Chain A
Amino acid sequence: AQTVTQSQPEMSVQEAETVTLSCTYDTSENNYYLFWYKQPPSRQMILVIRQEAYKQQNATENRFSVNFQKAAKSFSLKISDSQLGDTAMYFCAFMKGGGSEKLVFGKGTKLTVNP
């Protein structure tokens, strides 16, 4: 079975600064996907970024980037130029390859961006 571990229950950062959220996972699969989701106070789950395991290049989406270390099974999220709207719960998630598979979530990290 796959597991996802987020070791930082809470983090805070000053506006405009950079913050990195940690995530490690355990799997014996070779084909899989990794995701970071954001859940603001509205509780709507929002996809922040995804990474295909077969891709060596780290995914980037504007201010959000990941550091994907496949051998170490590590998948951290870096948020640059933090904004107040980034305040939310962030969940790391794993999905086996093959399509229409279930997501396995970590416990989440509550990020607060301070003005």
Chain B
Amino acid sequence: GAVVSQHPSWVICKSGTSVKIECRSLDFQATTMFWYRQFPKQSLMLMATSNEGSKATYEQGVEKDKFLINHASLTLSTLTVTSAHPEDSSFYICSASSSGGYEQFFGPGTRLTVL
């Protein structure tokens, strides 16, 4: 199956700093990427959908100015958590699909801890 990587796998940062998480499709062109957030023992919550070269579409209740998403190429999308606060601590997962594809391939996730 197709491989999606995420970097870093975990990150600890101080409150007020910004953190960037990368999501890469290693062996296919990801025209659409999705960013999810998962709290402990809960399901995945979709934050936004991004199409290569276009602005991301954010789900209701997700602050687009806080969670900046860039999908500048067919293999890379980034999520930047700006001015992070402890409540932003969570597990962030990306997934990717190819053009017209009905299957999403998931990255291994990034654990963010904000002190």
Contacts and interface: CB of A to CB of B under 8 A. Distances in A.
Interface of A: 33, 42-45, 47, 50, 91, 95, 97, 99-108, 110
Interface residues of B, number: 26
B43 A100 contact: no
Interface string B14-56: 0000000000000000011010001001111010010100000
A9 to B, nearest CB: 9
Given A43-B91, A44-B108, A106-B43, A99 B100 contact: yes
A53 to B, nearest CB: 11
B100 A107 contact: no
Residue of A44, A100, A103, A106 contacting most chain B CB atoms (<10 Å): A100
A105 B31 contact: no
A108 B51 CA distance: 28
A45 B42 CA distance: 13
Contacts of B101: 99-100
A25 to B, nearest CB: 14
Contacts of B31: 100
B7 to A, nearest CB: 15
Interface in B50-75: 51
A109 B43 CA distance: 10
Interface in B87-115: 91, 93, 95, 97-104, 106, 108-109
A108 to B, nearest CB: 5
9 contacts: A42-B108, A45-B106, A91-B44, A99-B101, A100-B97, A102-B49, A104-B46, A107-B43, A110-B41
